[in-house]
Amino acid sequence: MNSGPSSSSHTPAAVRGQAKRRRTFAVISHPDSGKSTLTEALALHARAIGTAGATHGKAGRRSTVSDWMSMEQERGISITSAALQFEYDDVVFNLLDTPGHADFSEDTYRVLSAVDSAVMLVDAAKGLEVQTMKLFEVCKHRGIPIVTVINKWDRAGHEPLALMDEIHERTGMLPTPLTWPVGQSGDFRGVLDRLTGEYTKYTRDSGGASIAGEETFAPEAAQQLEGETWTTAVDEAELLELEEQDHDQEAYLAGRTTPVLFASAVLNFGVHKLLDTLVAIAPAAEPRPDVNEEPRPVDAPFSGFVFKVQAGMDSNHRDRLAYVRVCSGVFERGMVVTHANTGKPFATKYAQQVFGRDREAVDEAFPGDVVGLVNASALGVGDSLYLDRKVVFPGIPTFSPEHFMVIRAKDSSKYKQFRKGIEQLDHEGVIQVLRSDLRGDQAPVLGAVGPMQFEVAEDRMVNEFNAPCELERLNFSIARRTVRDSVPTLSRERNVEVLSRSDGELLALFSDRWRLQGVERAHPDVVLEPLVVS
């Protein structure tokens, strides 16, 4: 069989060099913290290379490739996630988009399995919010290093030292500010660079849509310019030093500390510094451990794993798109790779379609990059692809579902389509499908992390699989892993149901924490374990 260009024209040293230039990251934040604004500002500072469904298509902003369902357009949100690639200071950034909507889905978590670091964006007036904390927990679990950006410093907000305390208390990470604000929130004049002691003064230019002006001054000049305000910043920075809140690369990489920057994304203040920081300290693409915990060297033949699957990018041509994070070697468009899970070949000749604008730039991709593969119905979330030398990367764990609905075909003559649709959605990881003998195949239970997953599933069942269906909410909110021996006991309990998931797990569902605790107390021998969170 012709396996396409199996050996790339790049030497192993060149591939290692490319991996070293990569910074693959996500911005984790609560909605409205300024993630879209920051993303646009970052792209403005850098040279955007390719967009695979760039930033959110909010009303009044440019709509994006990822606005694939009318549902998304109606609400002006991006349900699915994709990647934005840009170059700055000879470094290639891959910014993976995590949906910024209040409703959560597994997609959000999966994106974090494909990044090497994260930027936690915090609104200066609000501090750490619910979703920031949820996403932070996932990063912590996965050992993803985090740089924190305090945003909206141009608006009145908390005291900077109080924000540092909050981060420390709530995340357990010691904040190690790299810059310190000159001027209270609402009076953002610039920042003190804690490493050099210099003052970067920001100047507003017309409109704020272009790159903000920056001037750097030595401490003495800063003192003359800003007087008391500078002195305050210096005093506070000294306090941080006394508390040993200085950057420590090893502690940052280990997730014990979080370097902090102050910014105003809307004014483009501090964006430059964020890019410089990520260039200097954020981890590059490194060898990824396989299922046997053996790291695949970045210069080994091509390998990658699917971290999300998306359908229906183009409503005229319903198609499935798999986003693959490259882990090793060079991805060259047109190559035929092997799908590790089935051993079957997978042709990649349409890989370019995802990247609308600059086709040349994405003819090849290196470790850390994201490639979108079309015609990917065979690929599921967590699947591995490789060239020449087999590798299987650990699957992406499925999250504990918190919402449950029974799904039934509305039209019994469409049962075949219904079944096919359910199987496909399950396979892609759009939704978890739970079954039991009691409920039968005609009415499986769908489990989701966020309720919007049901809407996506229903939309696709109707429009893609031509299987109109109805959904009925079930009064469960907690799932626990159990074992076969415990099933008889659990089945006798009121308001408890045991279902099996396609990965073989047995899930016991409970209405709430109290019901779970009641059953645990009544039957201490029954196995009820929390499902993996990440």
**Shortest approach of ligand GDP to residue 362 CB, angstroms?**
25
**Shortest approach of ligand GDP to residue 29 CB, angstroms?**
5
Burial code of 186-219, b = ≥16 C-beta within 10 A, e = fewer?
eebbbbbbbeeebbbbbeeeeeeeeebebeebee
CA distance 241 to 262: 17
Scanning the structure block, which residue is given the tokens 């490493």?
Answer: 195
**Residue number, nearest CB to ligand GDP:** 34
Q: Residue 101 — φ and ψ, nearest 5°? A: -90, 155
Q: Tell me whether residue 100 is annotated as binding.
A: yes
Alpha-helical segments (H) within 172-281: 219-226, 228-242, 249-253, 271-281
> With respect to ligand GDP, which residue has the nearer C-beta, 141 or 155?
155
CA distance 150 to 270: 10
N-term to C-term CA, the chain: 39
Strand partners, 174: 257
In sequence order, what are the residues at sequence separation of 6 or more whose Cβ sits closer than 8 angstroms to the Cβ of residue 165? Answer: none
**Shortest approach of ligand GDP to residue 146 CB, angstroms?**
17
**Shortest approach of ligand GDP to residue 268 CB, angstroms?**
9
Please give, one letter per residue, the 3-state secondary structure of 207-234.
CCCCCCEEEEECHHHHHHHHCHHHHHHH
> With respect to ligand GDP, which residue has the nearer C-beta, 109 or 262?
262
Kind of pairing between the strands at 370-374 and 403-409: unpaired
Q: What is the DSSP string of 36-97?
A: HHHHHHHHHHSEEEEEES-S---TTSPP-TT--SHHHHHHT---S--EEEEEETTEEEEEEP
> With respect to ligand GDP, which residue has the nearer C-beta, 34 or 395?
34
> With respect to ligand GDP, which residue has the nearer C-beta, 56 or 194?
56
Q: Tell me whether residue 98 is annotated as binding.
A: yes
Scanning the structure block, which residue is given the tokens 């031509």?
Answer: 466
> With respect to ligand GDP, which residue has the nearer C-beta, 133 or 336?
133
Q: What residue ranges bind ligand GDP (CB under 6 A)?
A: 29, 31-37, 56, 58, 100, 151-152, 154-155, 264-266
Tokens coding 180 = 């310190």
> With respect to ligand GDP, which residue has the nearer C-beta, 34 or 190?
34
> With respect to ligand GDP, which residue has the nearer C-beta, 81 or 486?
81
CA distance 323 to 123: 30
Tokens coding 382 = 């967590």
> With respect to ligand GDP, which residue has the nearer C-beta, 57 or 100?
100
Scanning the structure block, which residue is given the tokens 């909010």?
Answer: 58
**Shortest approach of ligand GDP to residue 168 CB, angstroms?**
23
**Shortest approach of ligand GDP to residue 480 CB, angstroms?**
34
Q: Tell me whether residue 334 is annotated as binding.
A: no
Amino acid at 523: H
**Shortest approach of ligand GDP to residue 130 CB, angstroms?**
13
> With respect to ligand GDP, which residue has the nearer C-beta, 85 or 151?
151
**Shortest approach of ligand GDP to residue 524 CB, angstroms?**
45
Q: Tell me whether residue 272 is annotated as binding.
A: no
**Shortest approach of ligand GDP to residue 388 CB, angstroms?**
41
> With respect to ligand GDP, which residue has the nearer C-beta, 37 or 338?
37
Cβ proximity of 85 and 91 under 8 Å? no
CB atoms inside a 10 Å sphere around CB 343:
8
**Shortest approach of ligand GDP to residue 273 CB, angstroms?**
14
Q: Tell me whether residue 411 is annotated as binding.
A: no
Query: Known binding site: residues?
Result: 97-101
Query: Known binding site for GTP: residues?
Result: 97-101
